[in-house]
Structure formats: C-alpha cells, structure tokens
C-alpha cells in the first residue's frame, strides 16, 4: 500500500475493491478524508456508501487496494495486535442505520457503559461519562429502561450515546436520520452540527439532500462503487445533472390547466429504506 502516508488526512482510500460474492460494492474507489471535517457520503441505495463506512471502521477489509488511518495501514493482521485494535476502536466509532443492530444490554445505562467497561475504565469515570452523555442526548430519564422497549428515535439516541460516550476522534454515521420523526431528526441534526471541530471528524452517509448543508463541510457523491464527484455542499447540490445521474433526484412532471406538461427536477430523493 505504497503512498498512503499523509498525516493531513484521517483516512486515505486507494483503489479499493470490495465484493459481496460476485457483486462489486466498491470498484477501485479512491478518496481522502481531511482531518477535523464533517463529510457527507452521498449516494442512492447500492452506491457503496454503507460498505465504505464499514471498511473505514475495519469491520470488513478490501479485496484489493488499501485504506490507511492516520497514515497507518488498516490491514487485517494489524488487528491481531491488541494495542493497535484497542487504540483504533477507542478512536473510531460507528453508529449503524438500524439501532437494533447495536442495542443488546438490559438497560440504557448498561448499553452506554458497555464500551467503557470493556476498555477498563474505573467505575466512577464510567458513571460520570454515562451521566454526561445521557444528559447531552436528552435521554437521562431513560437510564433504567430496556432499550428494546423504546421508540425508534429514543433507540437511535441511545445508540449514538453508546458511541459518543467514548468521545471518539472519528464518528461514522450510517443514515443517522432514517426512519425518524421530525423532532428526533432535528435533535440528531443539531448534534451533528455541533459535534465536528476540535480535530474531530464526522463522516455521514445519506441520500437525503435536505440534510447536507447542515451536516457537512465537504461531500463525496458515490455511484456504482466509485466516486462520481466531490466538492463543497453548495456546489454539489447545484449540479442537477450529477444528482440525476447518481439517482439522488428524479424528474417531477405536472400538467397545467392548459394541458401543457412540464418536467423539473425533484430535490427530495426517493426513500428506499
């Protein structure tokens, strides 16, 4: 994996291919994630954005090409070394699209305390950190509730809290507002707007263009496992042809009283979740 050495980028992805059986989810993709930025990975379903997020979290490893974190290769054998695995898992946190994938403890407190406990934090530190993050996420009143009995928005906030309690250097979010009611969505967006900065990097996958300018400083548009374009949010959102090609917007047709039919881009993407 020659050439992946820059410390200006928290992640560098070079010519990465990953397949599910015979289907290429990522097809020779290359991109660099600048440290301390809020990044949006935009793409329709099947574009490869969720797969890329899992590779950045080292849940999967590339078939070919390579990924580096802070200049160090993310290779499978590196995670056989406890010190490397411990440091990486402490610094990079992933929140899945479906909170049910992450929630398995008997109470919300246990859920949020799980990672710190397994990393050997003292009990007093765990209790203070859990109380702080539950307060910030406005779910302190759920402390003793079973996660499986919570609403969808509450589950999402608990899943976020279970990662944010570690104060990770990098936060990876897969469709964080999918399936949420407007109030819960607004709370998550507010959190995303405030979390970046101070050297922390937030990488969010979404196909909801209405979120992009609120949650991202920079965007990558993925299509068929490749980077179709990248740029500032305003620049990307103004490129109607690009968004149509990437299946992020569709043509909306309407008939006037005169019988004339007009077609124009519809900026709210199809929901396929």
As a whole number, mean pLDDT of residues 14-40 equals 94
For residue 222, tell me if it sits in a domain.
yes
265 located within any domain: no
pLDDT, average across residues 120-134: 94
Q: What is the dihedral of CA 36, 137, 147, 115, to 10 degrees?
A: 40
**Arithmetic mean of pLDDT over the chain:** 86
First to last CA, the chain: 35
Helices (H), the chain: 49-56, 82-91, 108-118, 123-136, 152-164, 182-195, 212-215, 233-238, 240-245
Q: What is the pLDDT of residue 122?
A: 95
For the record, the structure tokens of 198 come out as 């101070």
- Per-residue model confidence (pLDDT) at position 252: 53
Q: Collapsing DSSP states into helix, strand and coil, what is residue 198?
A: coil
What is the per-residue pLDDT for 196? 63
Percentage of the chain modeled with pLDDT above 90? 59
The token duo for 130 is 């859990």
Query: Exposed, middle or buried by CB within 10 Å (0-12, 13-18, 19+), for 90?
Result: middle
Q: Tally Cβ neighbours within 10 Å of residue 227.
A: 18
Structural domain contains residue 134: yes
Assign 251 a pLDDT band (cuts: 50, 70, 90): low
Q: Classify residue 253 by its DSSP letter.
A: E
User: Is 213 part of a structural domain of the chain?
Assistant: yes
Residue 12 domain-assigned (yes or no): no
Contact indicator for 228, 47 with CB cutoff of 8 Å? no
225 within some domain: yes
- Mean pLDDT computed over 247-258: 62
Residue 255 has pLDDT above 70, yes or no: no
How many Cβ atoms from other residues are within 10 Å of residue 81's Cβ? 10
Q: Give the structural domain span for 219.
A: 35-58+82-241
**Residue 52's closest CA among 214, 209, 224?**
224
pLDDT tens digits for 144-186?
999 989 988 889 889 999 999 998 999 999 988 877 778 778 8
Q: Over 80: is that where the pLDDT of 197 sits?
A: no
The torsion angle over the Cα atoms of residues 127, 130, 133 and 137, rounded to 10 degrees, is -130
Q: What integer pLDDT is reported at residue 235 of this predicted model? A: 95
The number of folded domains in the chain is 1
Assigned domain for 173 exists: yes
pLDDT reported for residue 263? 44
Backbone angles phi, psi at 228, to 5 degrees: -80, -30
Burial of 183 (0-12, 13-18, 19+ CB in 10 A): exposed
3-class state of residue 96 by DSSP? coil
Instruction: Report the CATH number that the domain containing residue 209 is assigned in CATH.
Output: 3.40.50.300
Reply yes or no on whether the pLDDT at 21 is more than 90: no
Whether 107 is in a domain gets the answer: yes
Q: Give dist(CA 107, CA 255) in Å, integer.
A: 54
């Amino acid at each position: 994996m020659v050439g992946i050495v820059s410390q200006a980028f928290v992640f560098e992805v070079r010519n990465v291919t990953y397949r599910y059986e015979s289907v290429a989810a990522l097809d020779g993709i290359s991109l660099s994630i600048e440290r301390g930025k809020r990044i949006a990975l935009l793409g329709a379903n099947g574009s490869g954005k969720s797969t890329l997020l899992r590779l950045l979290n080292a849940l999967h490893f590339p078939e070919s090409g390579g990924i580096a974190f802070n200049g160090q290769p993310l290779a499978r054998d590196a995670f056989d070394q406890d010190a490397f695995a411990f440091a990486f898992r402490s610094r990079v946190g992933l929140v899945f699209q479906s909170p049910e994938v992450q929630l398995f403890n008997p109470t919300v407190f246990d859920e949020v305390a799980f990672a710190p406990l397994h990393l050997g934090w003292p009990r007093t530190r765990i209790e203070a950190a859990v109380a702080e993050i539950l307060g910030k996420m406005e779910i302190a009143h759920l402390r003793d509730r079973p996660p499986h009995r919570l609403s969808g928005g509450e589950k999402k906030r608990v899943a976020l809290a279970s990662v944010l309690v570690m104060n990770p250097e990098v936060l990876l979010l897969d469709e964080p507002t999918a399936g949420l009611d407007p109030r819960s969505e607004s709370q998550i967006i507010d959190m995303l707007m405030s979390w970046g900065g101070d050297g922390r990097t937030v990488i969010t996958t979404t196909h909801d263009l209405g979120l992009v300018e609120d949650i991202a400083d920079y965007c990558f548009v993925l299509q068929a496992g490749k980077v179709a374009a990248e740029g500032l949010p305003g620049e990307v959102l103004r490129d109607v042809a690009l968004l149509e090609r990437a299946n992020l917007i569709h043509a909306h047709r309407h008939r006037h009283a005169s019988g004339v039919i007009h077609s124009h881009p519809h900026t709210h993407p199809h929901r396929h979740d």
